[in-house]
Structure 1
Amino acid sequence: MKSGEAAAGEIDPAILQEAADWLMRLHAGDAGPQEWAAVECWRTTSPAHGRAWQRAEALLGDLRQLPPGPARAALERPNARRRQLLRLLWIPALPAGLLAWRQFSVDGERWQSATGEQRPLTLADGTQVLLNTATRIAVRFDAQTRLLRLLEGEILVTSAPDSAPVHRPLIVATGDGSARAIGTRFSVRRADGDDASRVVVFDGAVEVEAGGTRRTVKRGEHVVFGADGPGTPAAFEAGVDEAWTQGMVIARRMRLADLLAELERYRPGLLRCHPAVADLRVSGSFPVLETDRSLALLAATLPVRVRYRTRYWAIVEPA
């Protein structure tokens, strides 16, 4: 490569810093029309600004997949220090952070799915696991236990009978507690941005333990559990919680903002909802693995339009 070409591809660190600042403002979720207009003006000011924005958008997806720890805590902290740490991560420290993510080790065999991917697995004992979008798990089988650690995301587990001479319970553990299968089919979710874990039981039963308390969750029930222990099991809405396993999300008078937040889990980059249409009610079935198609369906049935500022940046706003 010629030196002139190399120089043309370089981006001023100050411009990269500005791109990170703008993207964090939008990522915080409280940006209004003035902020959106301002960042669009900034992005189109010069080719260097456009390249910096593209780089920042691409790196956002990698930041979201950092493992639990100081970097992830910084990403999730909604205050000034959170943004300052993100700025530090974004420019000088991000490559090292990504390297740490690639080298992140947990006890057991690891599996993961990308954003917008669903990945089926069959474990050594015959247990079937479906990884939803942006999910990471670690699997460890030994003489005492069949353990699945849900590091992030959502899984559907269909347990298989244990063929070992001594029974080994099948346990799914998250940072909030654990769920022990009792001949069952169930899902566990601990997605990015969630402040607790959730178990939904489709068949059989699951024993949930958290905060020193145990609850048995039966077929047709779900429960949320965190540091304070599991809540009270309650019936879930049939068809809705299992829809993702068929590649769909079912909305029944759901707020548009909430539906878009769910679709964003399956989509790299930013998907934002204009405050003026956030409370519109939506009913219907929407494909989660084809989010552009889902957005087109919304635009065809609601008084909204979808504006694509870039490939990784879409906003749903009044038509």
Structure 2
Amino acid sequence: MNAPASLPRDIDPAILQEAAEWMMRLTSGEAGAAEHEALARWQAQSSQHRLAWQRAEAFLADLRRMPAEVAKTALDRPPARRRALARLVWLPLAPTAAWLGWRHAWPAMLAELRTATGEQRQVTLADGTLLTLNTSTAVDIRYSSQQRLIRLIEGEVLIATATDPAPLTPSQPRPFLVQTVEGTARALGTRFTVRRLQGTGTERSRVVVFEGAVGISAGGRHLVLDRGRQAEFTTTAIGPAAPASEAVDGAWASGMLIARQIRLADLAAELDRYRPGLLRCHPGVADLRISGAFPLLDPERSLRLLTDTFPLRLRYRTRYWATLESNEG
């Protein structure tokens, strides 16, 4: 969703929170003239307030146009977002509960660039940098005269930086930064990926470098990753650097998942990112080691490859809820 040129795109999260609360109040069925007048005063405080409300109204209009079938595909989101969407699609029936859920998922829903489950998107930024968004990804672009900043809210991106056309000085380009909740990655003339790992216990981010180098800052610590290295970081620490391979770690940008002796449970978790619904792995086969090449953008085909090649079968609870289990016994 692109902001009008006259309005700032960088909205304070606190203002977004307030806008969500205003929307919740106005859709509660109890708002009167006084509430509408108070909202008008709130919007008049700044252009950020007005833009936050414009985005909220646009999102609400989209929700009201959603067909009932959308409720079924609400499961194709990460857990926190899925819970919010499951309520949002029933907004006309339970507006208060819906907006309570939406407040927690707001930043990803209102991100400037987003991809749906199973979608990948390539964007050329204003400086010529090539940005590839993986499945279920949300980012905001914050370019200024002082820096080039990408905020990764959720998902995964591949970045191929370009020469800065508006450097600070002839010999000093604007810093190129990718910011997540956990920390910041600074590109040093490079191709690299950044992924937010959510719903896996401890939330963390991972950087993988294919060309050049990337500096990571998190929890007061710093680490420079060279080509062929990767590392994960949280809000308090940066993990050790480990080997990385573009053929494996960057294969998703070509629509493939390359598995080399990985656990079936981990493979299923990756395919689950690209498939509407829920894909689970029975504990009895979770540690089965898998190697092969699997098409990410056709996860059903990947599942057929698994069941045709290994002693596995799919058990469907519903059309969207499947479990990989042994076909023996």
- 2:158/2:193 contact within 8 Å kept: yes
Alpha-carbon distance, 1:237 to partner:
3.9
- 2:213/2:224 contact within 8 Å kept: yes
- 2:108/2:153 contact within 8 Å kept: no
Alpha-carbon distance, 1:309 to partner:
3.1
- 1:138/1:148 contact within 8 Å kept: yes
Q: Give the alignment partner of residue 240 of structure 2, picking from 217, 232, 256.
A: 232
Q: Distance in 1 between matches of 2:320 and 2:204?
A: 28
Q: Distance in 2 between matches of 1:308 and 1:164?
A: 54
Measured on the aligned residues, the alpha-carbon RMSD in Å equals 3.1
Alignment of structure 1 residues 130-209 onto 2, 5 Å? 130-166=132-168, 167-194=173-200, 195-209=203-217
What are the superposed Cα offsets for residues 248-296 of structure 1, whole Å, 9 maximum, x if unpaired?
Answer: 1111111111100111011111111122211211110111110100000
Alignment partner, residue 225 of structure 2: 217
Q: Distance in 1 between matches of 2:70 and 2:117?
A: 18
Aligned length: 250
- 2:80/2:105 contact within 8 Å kept: no
Q: Secondary structure at the match of 1:215?
A: strand
Alignment partner, residue 96 of structure 1: 99
Alignment partner, residue 262 of structure 1: 270
Q: Distance in 2 between matches of 1:276 and 1:128?
A: 42
Q: Distance in 2 between matches of 1:132 and 1:296?
A: 23
Q: TM-score, normalised by structure 2?
A: 0.68
- 2:132/2:157 contact within 8 Å kept: yes
Alignment partner, residue 126 of structure 2: 124
Q: Give the alignment partner of residue 311 of structure 2, picking from 292, 296, 303.
A: 303
- 2:77/2:136 contact within 8 Å kept: no
Q: Distance in 2 between matches of 1:152 and 1:288?
A: 18
Q: Secondary structure at the match of 2:81?
A: coil
> Residues 257 and 165 (structure 1 numbering): CA distance in 2 closer, same or farther, change over 3 Å?
closer
Q: Unpaired segments of 5 or more residues in structure 2?
A: 1-68
Q: Distance in 1 between matches of 2:282 and 2:212?
A: 42
Alpha-carbon distance, 1:103 to partner:
6.1
2:138 maps to a residue whose letter is R
Moved more, 221-230 or 152-161: 221-230
Q: TM-score, normalised by structure 1?
A: 0.71
Q: Distance in 2 between matches of 1:62 and 1:230?
A: 27
Q: Secondary structure at the match of 1:261?
A: helix
Alpha-carbon distance, 1:95 to partner:
2.9
1:204 maps to a residue whose letter is G
Alpha-carbon distance, 1:176 to partner:
0.6
Q: Distance in 1 between matches of 2:106 and 2:155?
A: 19
Q: Distance in 1 between matches of 2:305 and 2:264?
A: 12
1:183 maps to a residue whose letter is G
Alpha-carbon distance, 1:58 to partner:
3.4
Q: Secondary structure at the match of 1:268?
A: coil
Q: Secondary structure at the match of 1:240?
A: helix
Write 1 or 2 for the structure with the bigger share of strand. Answer: 1
Alpha-carbon distance, 1:226 to partner:
1.0
2:275 maps to a residue whose letter is R
Alpha-carbon distance, 1:307 to partner:
2.5
Q: Distance in 1 between matches of 2:120 and 2:108?
A: 22
Q: Secondary structure at the match of 2:240?
A: coil
Q: Unpaired segments of 5 or more residues in structure 1?
A: 1-53, 76-84
Q: Distance in 2 between matches of 1:114 and 1:56?
A: 15
Alignment partner, residue 38 of structure 1: none
